[in-house]
Structure 1
Amino acid sequence: MSKKTILVTGSNDGIGLALTKVLVRDHGCRVIMTSRSEERGSKARTDIRAEFPDAEVDLLQLDVCESSSVVAAAGKVKEMGVTLYALVNNAGVGFNAGGDVIATNFYGPKLCSESFVDLIDAEKGRIVNVSSGAASMWLRNQDDATKALFSQMPVTSFEALEDSVKKNKADASMGGYGLSKAGLTAYTIQQAAAYPNLICTSLSPGFIDTKMTSGFGARLTPEQGTVSLVKCLFDDVTSGFYYGSDGLRSPLTVARDPGTPEYQGEENPDAAKYNN
């Protein structure tokens, strides 16, 4: 049985690096790592190979905000002659990680998905978008029309979603971080409709101790942040759904990441009905 090849954006550090290690260690996958910085990416790959000598790990330079960079990376994957089992849109910025939050977290995954989709297994392939519990924290405080738009039942157009993101950007808390991730989760629902042969999901990894969250009180390790990622990559999940950090289906308007102050879990009937 051939190895599953998975491309993980932003995999030189944090949750992306932890996921890469889990994939090569526990699932025997070939991982194509991407990093905006070739230097940091090369160091991460060297460290993984030192820890797992038999790991099959490739590295591509990729800036999810630059169309030319994404297209070039997709071209290199095509030249490798591999079919991707999954694309993990993990690269993101916010909190301590500087950068354009909306461009990176909202537009970046769309650009990557559209550039790599033809290289993903048309029958068994998956796209996994790393969202955040901050998406729920932002959306739960919006009006009913905004909640309906971002929950997208029925599915709305990307243009309508984009217009709402632009409209809310100036007043959004956390520099627009929660808004950007809510937009990504809503876009995932659109992906599920646009790519019916693929399984497209979004998730919260939880409040994980990384460079991005340093100083904000996060206590979970990056590897603990891969629980829902692994589930969405390999388990029986439903395309278009958003999953909490424990791998349970989660409504976008109810924050339910265990271990966080805003957690509303199985005791909350509005959250519990989704966890089946």
Structure 2
Amino acid sequence: MATKVAIVTGGNRGIGFEIVKGLCLKYDGIVYLTARDEDRGKKAVQKLEQMGLKPVFHKLDVTSHKSIEEFAAHIQTNNQGIDILVNNAGILDFDKSVSSYEDSKKLLDTNFYSLLKISDILYPLLLNTARIINLSSDWGLLSNIRKQTWFDILEKDNLSVEEILQFVDDFLQGAKSGKNTFMSFAGHYGDYKVSKVAMSALTFVQQREFLKLGRDISVNCVHPGFVKTDMTKGMGDFSPERGARAPLYLALEAPQSLKGTFVWHDCHQVNWDD
């Protein structure tokens, strides 16, 4: 019988590490802890091994087409496909509430554009009944967008990937224009908000596409709560372990019929566009 496979991107620390740990404890299958930094990834695996758990490490830089392709080749060679994919990798400079164009582009490359690369390269390996969990944020709710034109477009039922890309590009062009345009688009931490709103929107569009293809694959996004991690400089309401609760619910416990939703940290569904 084929062994099931779960993958967590950015799994070496914070919420990602706790998701890997939770999967290792409860999931009957191989759990891949992936990370961009090989040394940090292997140290995270060693830490889990000391707890008696057995994750498998593989280097994965989600911003690199080549790195994702190498990981896909590994999966194709060693496994039957992918059953669970947790898109957790992300960055945020908590010290900069208003970023430069260059910093915003780097953040969006990691937090959003990487999902398109992953979709192209890893999604063809998804098995039927696979589950995709996108780590969004309460900053991924549509209400964070101040530009009414984009608010109206993003809440459409027939939203397209092309329109999401135009939304992100419009923000980046605004970031080039200066701080005032940056702030008028989404306020403080606008680049992070745009990345997570785009991620949320992409979740719903991709779910619709899977349904059109007749594939029983679920794609959901989740707000894990304001979690105390290195990224938030230790500020927050929850521990990383508590932050992993809702992502693990979507990966392991939620009914397969739960598709294309925005799930809150306490596991209840919310309307992302209210």
TM-score by length of 1: 0.83
Q: Which residue of 1 aligns with 2:269?
A: 249
Question: Which has the higher mean CA deviation after the structures are superposed, 123-132 or 90-99?
Answer: 90-99
Letter in 1 for 2:10: G
Please give the residue correspondences for 1:65-104 in structure 2 after superposition, counting only pairs within 5 Å.
Answer: 65-96=63-94, 100-104=106-110
Letter in 2 for 1:142: R
Q: Which residue of 1 aligns with 2:248?
A: 230
Letter in 2 for 1:189: F
Letter in 1 for 2:230: K
Q: Which residue of 1 aligns with 2:122?
A: 116
Write the distance in 1 (CA, Å) between the matches of 2:131 and 2:81: 12
1:164 aligns with 2:167: yes
Letter in 2 for 1:133: D
TM-score by length of 2: 0.84
Structure 2 segments unaligned to the other structure (5+ residues): 97-102, 176-181
Structure 1 segments unaligned to the other structure (5+ residues): 255-276
Write the distance in 1 (CA, Å) between the matches of 2:271 and 2:219: 16
Write the distance in 2 (CA, Å) between the matches of 1:22 and 1:247: 16
Retained in 1: the 8 A contact 2:20–2:31? yes
Offset from partner CA, 1:126-149 (integer Å, 9 cap, x none): 11111111122x634524442232
Q: Which residue of 1 aligns with 2:111?
A: 105
1:50 aligns with 2:50: yes
Helix, strand or coil at the partner of 1:247? coil
CA apart distance, 1:21: 0.5
Write the distance in 1 (CA, Å) between the matches of 2:44 and 2:193: 28
Number of residue-to-residue matches in the alignment: 248
Q: 1:142 aligns with which of 135, 139, 146?
A: 146
Write the distance in 2 (CA, Å) between the matches of 1:247 and 1:150: 24
**More helix per residue: 1 or 2?**
2
CA apart distance, 1:226: 1.3
Write the distance in 2 (CA, Å) between the matches of 1:239 and 1:145: 27
CA apart distance, 1:3: 5.2
Identity among equivalent positions (%) equals 26
Helix, strand or coil at the partner of 2:246? helix
Q: Which residue of 1 aligns with 2:100?
A: none
Helix, strand or coil at the partner of 1:124? strand
Offset from partner CA, 1:198-230 (integer Å, 9 cap, x none): 101111111000000015x31311110112112
Seen in structure 2, the aligned counterparts of structure 1 residues 101 and 56 have a Cα distance that, compared at 3 Å, is same
Q: Cα RMSD (Å) of the superposition?
A: 2.1
CA apart distance, 1:193: 1.8
Q: Using CA pairs below 8 Å that are at least 6 residues apart, which structure has the higher relative contact order?
A: 2
Letter in 2 for 1:58: V
Seen in structure 2, the aligned counterparts of structure 1 residues 120 and 97 have a Cα distance that, compared at 3 Å, is farther
Helix, strand or coil at the partner of 2:117? helix
1:11 aligns with 2:11: yes
Write the distance in 1 (CA, Å) between the matches of 2:270 and 2:136: 12
Offset from partner CA, 1:81-101 (integer Å, 9 cap, x none): 232111111000013499711
